[in-house]
Amino acid sequence: MSGAGQADRGQSSRFRVDRRGLFRMGCITAGVAASASLLDGLLLTPRRLVTSDHAFEQSRTGAQPPVSPPLRILQVSDLHLRAIGPLERLLIERIHATPADLVVFTGDMIDRPAGIPLLDALLGELPSGARMLAILGNWEHRCAVPVEAIARMYERHGVELLVNRSVEVDHHGRSLRVTGLDDCLLGRPDPTAALAAAAPRDHHLVLAHCPAARDRLGLPPEHPASLVLSGHTHGGQIAPCGAAVVLPPGSGRYVAGWYRDGGPPMYVSRGIGTSLVPIRIGATPELVRIGWRL
């Protein structure tokens, strides 16, 4: 065989070896990346908590300027409480360190009967002074704890449970109506009952656990929503690079953050806890803080 043929065969052999080496290196890299992602999803991200700050001012048709300071709202969603551990301790600390006029709990605080005493204990550690309102999520219905028992537990801590009910919140001479709707998956939302005999207000906050409710709120025309606050999606919970792998029923086209197209402005919280699997990837737990200039 000529020297040129031997050289060609040697180069071909080296190419095959290099290709196998590159493939092996790619597999190892992918494995390391997957392991790191799983480690982060199990041990790191689910224990982080960010406070997301937002300013909100609705469109105005009149000449009345907004009051200052803004109404400070904290939204706590989807706690899925199973223990009072480091994440829950961090949440309590953040709420103490974040002055608020209104704290809203937008559903799925518990997902099992054992969550009632835990939530009872957690609420007992929250600061007093802010008005506190809560609604039900699909898991409060699913876990078979009577609504009356949940309402009594909330009442012990000055939290008003709104199930198709509205209340008024006063802030520096302005009035905000807050309507809490029942869960649209396992409950019976009834906006007509929630607003029966209510006079129209310029500012109307609607609490609805599932964001898909925005597309079928069914509010009486004289009571349009100024702002909707929802949760439920967990931001996808497993959302590498922010792309949700799967969303639960009741999410509709919504994942997380602000939505201002095709309906009233809505903020969808990523929530705090986890459901079904104790993993969060690309969907860090959040405490939502909104300053609303009424």
pLDDT in tens, 116-128: 999 999 999 999 9
pLDDT at 21 over 80: no
Same domain, 57 and 193: yes
Domain limits for position 217: 51-292
SS (H, E, C) the chain: CCHHHHHHHHHHHHHHHHHHHHHHHHHHHHHHHHHHHHHHHHHHHHHCCEEEEEEECCCCCCCCCCCCCCEEEEEECCCCCCCCCHHHHHHHHHHHHCCCCEEEEECCCCCCCCHHHHHHHHHCCCCCCCEEEEECCHHHHHCCCCHHHHHHHHHHCCEEECCCEEEEEEECCEEEEEEECCCCCCCCCCHHHHCCCCCCCCEEEEECCCHHHHHHCCCCCCCCCCEEEECCCHHHCECHHHCCCCCCCCCCCCCCEEECCCCCCEEECCCCCCCCCCCCECCCCEEEEEEECC
Q: pLDDT at position 76, please?
A: 98
Q: pLDDT at position 36, please?
A: 39
**Percent of the chain whose predicted confidence (pLDDT) is above 70:** 83
Same domain, 41 and 69: no
Average pLDDT of the segment spanning 6-13: 54
Average pLDDT of the segment spanning 77-98: 96
Q: pLDDT at position 37, please?
A: 43
Same domain, 60 and 127: yes
Q: pLDDT at position 64, please?
A: 73
Same domain, 171 and 233: yes
pLDDT category of residue 226 using cuts at 50, 70 and 90: very high
Number of domains the chain contains: 2
Same domain, 30 and 98: no
Same domain, 61 and 10: no
Same domain, 118 and 6: no
Of 13, 31, 47, at which residue does a domain stop?
47
Same domain, 167 and 252: yes
